[in-house]
Amino acid sequence: MDLSWLPRKRPLAATALALAGLCGPLEAAMPWSGTKAVLLHARDGQATQIATVQFEPRSDGRIGFRLVTDTSRFKDFFLSMKEFKCLEGGGEVMCHVPYPYPQPGTITPSDLAWLEHSLLFLFKKPGEFGAKLWNGLYFRLEAKGDGLEGTPQAIDLNLISAPPDRPALPPYRPALRDDIAPGSRWFQRLTIE
C-alpha cells in the first residue's frame, strides 16, 4: 500500500486515524459473512432471538442477505383481516411486518436499508382491536462492536399498503422516519450478532 501521501512528521495517532478513514466504520466492525442471530431487547433486559440472517459477500461489493424468522417465538394474531406473527410483553403487542414487495436482498456496509426494511414491525396494546398501521417501527441499524444495533424509529406502514412508485429504492428514507423517546417501546433495541 502506497502511503507516500502521508506527511512525514505526522504523529502516530493522527496517522492511525487517517488509515482508519480508509475503511468505513461498518466495514471494520462487522464481519459480513456467515449466519448471525437477530435479537430483540426488552426494557427489562430480556433478549429474545427472533430470527437469523445469513450474509454472503458478492463479487460486486454488495452483500446478499437472507432473513429467516423463528416463528416458534411468535404468537399468531389475526388483525385487520390479516395474520401477523407477534410478541407480547410489557403491556404491548409487537408484530413483524414482512416487506410485501420484491426487493434485491442486498446491502453494502454503508447502506443497510433493505435489511432494515426486512425488520419492520407494528405495535399495539393487547386490548386494541385491529392493526394500527400508523404505529410502525423501523430499526435503524448501526455498527456496534462486531455486530449491528438497531434503534427503533416511528414510521407509518400505510406507506407500503400499495406498491412503491420506484420499487428499486427502499421507501422509508430518513425523512419518513421519526425518532422516538428511549424506552417508550417494550422492545427498545434490536441487535444482529
| 33 belongs to a structural domain | yes
| 11 belongs to a structural domain | no
| 158 belongs to a structural domain | yes
The Cα–Cα gap between 71 and 64 comes to 22
| 17 belongs to a structural domain | no
| Contact between 190 and 39 (Cβ < 8 Å) | yes
The boundaries of the domain holding residue 104 are: 24-192
Query: Where does residue 76 rank: exposed (0-12), middle (13-18), buried (19+ CB within 10 A)?
Result: exposed
Indicate the Cα dihedral angle 76, 68, 107, 188, nearest 10°: 50
| 9 belongs to a structural domain | no
pTM of the model: 0.82
Provide the b/e sequence for 5-36 (b: ≥16 CB within 10 Å).
eeeeeeeeeeeeeeeeeeeeebeebbebeeeb
Would you write out the chain's pLDDT as a tens digit for each of its 193 residues?
444 434 444 443 333 333 344 444 444 457 789 999 999 999 999 999 999 999 999 999 999 999 999 989 998 876 766 787 989 989 899 999 999 999 999 999 999 999 999 999 999 888 777 777 899 999 999 989 889 999 999 999 999 999 999 999 999 999 999 999 998 999 999 999 9
Give the residue carrying C-alpha cell 430483540. Answer: 40
- Positive or negative, the CA dihedral 105, 116, 101, 163 is negative
| 3 belongs to a structural domain | no
| 54 belongs to a structural domain | yes
